[in-house]
Copies of this chain bind each other. A is one copy, B any other.
Amino acid sequence: MTDPCSTLAALDASDPLAGFRDSFALRPGLLYLDGNSLGALPRATAARLAQAVSQEWGEGLITSWLGAGWSTAPARIGDKIARLLGAGPGEIVAADSTSVNIFKALTAALSLRPGRPVILSEATNFPTDVYMMQGIEAFSGGRIRAVTVAPDDIVDRLDQDVAVLLLTQVHYKSGRVRDMAEITRRAQAVGALVVWDLSHSSGAVEVDLNGANADFAVGCGYKFLNGGPGAPAFLFAARRHHGATPVLSGWFGHARPFAFEEDYAAAPGIERFLCGTPPVLGLAALEVGVDLMLSADMAQVRRKSMQMGDILIQLMKPLCADHGFCLISPEDGQARGSQVAYAHPQGYEIVQALKAVDVIADFRAPDIIRFGLTPLYLRYADMADLVDRIGTVCRTRSWDKPEYRERAAVT
């Protein structure tokens, strides 16, 4: 790249996804590199929520459970997410949080592998994944053990004690991508099941759940799916596992919820993985984000994401040499999700100082700066602009302020 700016402008000019940026409400000048934590607001969401509130709730009132499709929203939106992830109709529902869905998927898998004592994961998995495993262990009365090993030791640890392996496909810090098909095959070879956490995959990388013969998966609605803060998450269960026992056996997972029967009887299909009354307003916002993602070509999304990452890594090299950034994401785009992460001793302060130059990035303890790359609303030229602003912060040492040193609870 002899003249990065004109190269990037040319890439933007021929970008088949360029038109999507207008579908988001983003302030001019802002560089938002945190769509891997909270996706930007689709412009259509405000009107959709206003309709859900004023017409469906306000006018339709209780009749909207049928009349406005509220009762079928978890399965309807699940079917749409399925099209993004290589799953079939009736294999995904949208509901509850990712954490709650991890619990459902793990306990469902345990019900299919009675007598096997181990839930396996990697020690550096996103914390809530491991925490949910530990909660199951604590409640199991000694029957189940939550075991974590170093990331590279996962496959070696697989044996006939393992009931279920819980892995995140795209690592939340490094962005490293796991080989879903290969690891699933290795786990299934010892009779174990796999729960894939797709929180950093959905809408970010190409996923083919049934192509990989996946067992279960969960994922997040508020990152690359742009479903809004605390959006409902989703759960995938391969059709062959629809006989699993739901532990969170709430009325919306019942075969006949409105018969008000005394005993639980799980719905025959994916609906058995629902629990309580669905979060209608959150689902309405999520559906807008999912629809928007569905209107994009995922292969183009992935290609742009990798290319943006390659460019960013290239442009950051001088700052790595001069200002102590250390790339912790894979350089190979195929092995990297839709983010580029650096370790830096002043990572926290730098993320704070970047806000003053209208860059929102993301810090993860102890020293990681993450740049989330969202092909629907970022431009190639933004990569050069970003590196420019980071360079200014570094050269002027504007991060070196007392007020940036006090770490807040959430960044």
- The residues of A with any CB-CB pair to B shorter than 8 Å are 25, 27, 32, 34, 37-38, 40-41, 45-46, 49-50, 53-54, 56-59, 61-66, 70-71, 96-100, 103, 107, 111, 123-124, 126-128, 130-132, 134-136, 138-141, 143, 148, 220, 222, 228-233, 245-254, 257-264, 275-283, 285, 355, 360, 362, 364-365, 408-411
Contact = CB atoms under 8 A, between A and B. Distances in A.
- The 9 lowest CB-CB distance pairs between A and B, nearest first, are A97-B276, A99-B250, A99-B276, A135-B249, A229-B280, A128-B251, A41-B58, A131-B264, A230-B280
5 contacts: A98-B277, A111-B138, A127-B261, A127-B262, A232-B279
B258 A71 contact: no
A308 to B, nearest CB: 19
Nearest to A101: B276
A281 B57 contact: no
Given A99-B275, A262-B127, A264-B130, A246 B135 contact: yes
Nearest to A249: B135
A25 B254 CA distance: 33
B107 A96 contact: no
Contact of A281 (B59, B62, B228, B246): B228
Contacts of A100: 96, 100, 248, 250, 275-276
A230 B281 contact: yes
Total identical chains: 2
Given A127-B260, A141-B140, A248-B99, A64 B27 contact: no
Contacts of A233: 276
A46 B40 contact: no
Contacts of A132: 248-250
B228 A57 contact: yes
Nearest to A372: B62
A99 to B, nearest CB: 3
Given A232-B279, A281-B229, A250 B131 contact: yes
Contacts of A103: 248
Given A38-B57, A62-B362, A135-B246, 7 more contacts: A41-B54, A96-B100, A99-B251, A100-B276, A132-B250, A148-B262, A230-B280
B70 A229 contact: yes
A233 B251 CA distance: 15
A249 B98 contact: no
Contact of A61 (B34, B232, B258): B34
A191 to B, nearest CB: 20
Nearest to A253: B131
Contact of A65 (B64, B232, B278, B410): B410
Contact of A249 (B131, B229, B258, B283): B131
Among A100, A130, A279, the one with the most B-chain Cβ atoms within 10 Å of its Cβ is A279
Contacts of A411: 258
A278 to B, nearest CB: 5
Contact of A107 (B128, B139, B282): B139
Contacts of A281: 49, 228-231, 281-282, 285
Contacts of A99: 248, 250-252, 275-277
B96 A259 contact: no
Given A249-B131, A277-B230, A38 B62 contact: yes
Residue among A252, A253, A258 with most chain B CB within 10 A: A258
Given A41-B57, A246-B135, A410-B258, A64 B279 contact: no
Residue in A45, A96, A229, A252 whose Cβ sees the most chain B Cβ within 10 Å: A229
Nearest to A173: B260
A38 B140 CA distance: 37
A351 to B, nearest CB: 11
Contacts of A254: 127, 131
